[in-house]
Amino acid sequence: MPLMGWIERAAQNSNFFAGKGRERKVRHLKAYAIFFSMKREATFMTGSGNGKDDDAEIIGALPAMAVKTRPKTKKPSQYKVYLLNDDYTPMEFVVHILEKYFNKNHEDAVRIMLHVHRHGAGLCGVYTREVAETKVSQVLAAARRAQHPLQCTMEKE
């Protein structure tokens, strides 16, 4: 903390610190500097920066601060990507799609395809928004190219 150096220098140069109370005054000032920097953090973290200078509230928040780390980044939302059943798309084509775009092995691809066939829809994977959007459009484009009505959708987790 830069303030510590400043306090040390001030303690050497200023008459205020001279004499027998010097050690105690320096300690006191350092403690105050630490308190103030913590207070700024606590005000920020508790959102209690309402202009009211309520030290009691800040001091109450200090123990929580010691264990609470401020998240710098929000973790991105995840999206589930589903295949939907229809009466016309060949089972083999759906299996191929699951292998190619969802990196499933053959066994899992067959299992998921049959789940969609029997239940109407099935989860193919969970991805961040951009990846999920890419998967959906890749599947729709491949289905359109092959002239199958296969549908694919995504849903926020």
Q: Which residues bind ligand TYC (CB under 6 A)?
A: 83-87, 89-91, 94, 113, 116-117, 150
Specify whether the backbone of 146 is left (phi greater than 0), alpha (psi in -120 to 50) or beta. alpha
CB of 37 vs ligand TYC, minimal distance in Å? 58
Comparing CA positions, the residue from 130, 66, 131 lying closest to residue 103 is 131
Phi and psi angles of residue 149, each rounded to the nearest 5 degrees, phi first: -85, 10
CB of 111 vs ligand TYC, minimal distance in Å? 12
CA 136, CA 3: separation in Å to the nearest integer? 55
Phi and psi angles of residue 9, each rounded to the nearest 5 degrees, phi first: -65, -45
Judged by CB, which is closer to ligand TYC: 61, or 97? Answer: 97
Judged by CB, which is closer to ligand TYC: 73, or 88? Answer: 88
Cα angle value 84/86/87 (rounded, 5°):
160
CB of 124 vs ligand TYC, minimal distance in Å? 9
Residue nearest to ligand TYC (CB): 116
Cα radius of gyration (the chain): 31
Judged by CB, which is closer to ligand TYC: 81, or 89? Answer: 89
Judged by CB, which is closer to ligand TYC: 60, or 90? Answer: 90
CA 81, CA 135: separation in Å to the nearest integer? 8
CB of 44 vs ligand TYC, minimal distance in Å? 50
Judged by CB, which is closer to ligand TYC: 57, or 99? Answer: 99
CB of 60 vs ligand TYC, minimal distance in Å? 56
